[in-house]
Amino acid sequence: MSSIKIGVAGWGFRQMSLREYFDTASRLDLPLLELNCRADVPGHIWVDFDQQDVTEVLDCAADEGIEIVALSADNDFTQTDPAALNSQVAQLRRIIELADQLGAKYVRVVVGRDVQCAPAVLETAVRKLQEAAQFADSFPVRLAVENGFGPLVSVDHCLAVMQQLQSDSVGLLYNPANFARNGDDPVKALELLGEHICYSHLTDWDGKEFCAIGRGTIDWKSVVGLLSDCRAEIALIEYPYPQDIELGTAAGQKKLTSLLRKIDG
């Protein structure tokens, strides 16, 4: 029987207020939720939070029957300015503290934005991630590094970075559409990286752009089957377009639910 639990990723809901986001997730019967914690999504929450902000978020979640399972950060450890890198670590530490207060299990992070970064820059980026992971060791929170951003454009790069990090507090956030966009087979990627995966962002890819699950080229039957066999039980639907976010998310939910029923049947 599959242990996968379906919820929603935060990015597509970036134009909604916190209350609107929670209400939409509740109406869609997707009570597991990833909350944006980044400066460019002011309607959610940011590192300048205080205890009143935490209480308001928890009250809002309780009102709608929502469980916050992850926070989505937007860091960049491929910068070269030492002060900027230290600031990034400080922000991520603050987000880890917030995740603990909200009861979230994971914090989504990226290695950085520079795809062609020099080896020395990547080495520094990994070291900064390790610093943040050491801080996360004090909390029941894991960092989940999403594939497809900066240096993590391929399966090989993901494997190399995971092997360098070697920390129980860091794993991989699996996004099959990011692999497909960058030319890797999402199914083979999952076969190779399954032991490292914390949770998933599930998006489809039609060869030109991201789309609702089931409307692109990804072999979802294989993906869902493999996810059911690995330890990552949380799969968050990520439909990235705010203009029809509810329709796109609902389409993905329908497709995933159908596949999970077949696995359980």
Extents of the domains making up the chain: 5-264
Domain 5-264 has CATH 3.20.20.150: yes
Q: Are 79 and 88 in contact (CB under 8 A)?
A: yes
Residue with tokens 């066999």: 229
Q: Residues 246-259: what's their mean pLDDT?
A: 97
Is the pLDDT score of 208 beyond 90?
A: yes
What's the whole-model pTM score?
Answer: 0.96
Instruction: Give the number of other CB atoms < 10 A from CB of residue 194.
Output: 16
Instruction: Give the number of other CB atoms < 10 A from CB of residue 99.
Output: 26
DSSP E strands, 9-146: 32-36, 67-72, 106-109, 142-146
**Rounded distance, CA 53 to CA 50, Å?**
5
**Within the chain, what is the greatest distance between any pair of CA atoms?**
55
Tell me the β-bridge partners of 34.
70
**Rounded distance, CA 135 to CA 193, Å?**
24
Cα distances (angstroms) measured from residue 137 to each of 40, 168, 217, 233: 28, 8, 38, 21
Residue with tokens 């089957």: 225
**Rounded distance, CA 37 to CA 49, Å?**
10
Chain segment 149-200, per-residue pLDDT in tens: 999 999 999 999 999 987 889 999 999 999 999 999 999 999 999 999 999 9
* Total count of residues recorded for the chain: 265
Chain segment 89-98, per-residue pLDDT in tens: 999 999 999 9
Residue 1 binned pLDDT confidence (cut-offs 50, 70, 90): very low
**Rounded distance, CA 61 to CA 180, Å?**
34
**Rounded distance, CA 235 to CA 213, Å?**
12
Chain segment 90-133, per-residue pLDDT in tens: 999 999 999 999 999 999 999 998 888 899 999 999 999 999 99
Q: Are 113 and 77 in contact (CB under 8 A)?
A: no
| Identity of the amino acid at 233 | E
Residue 6's SS3 state is strand
| Two tokens, residue 193 | 């990286």
| Two tokens, residue 95 | 């987000």
Residue 3 binned pLDDT confidence (cut-offs 50, 70, 90): confident
Give the DSSP letter of residue 243. Answer: G
Residue 218: name the closest of 180, 255, 261, 173 by CA: 180
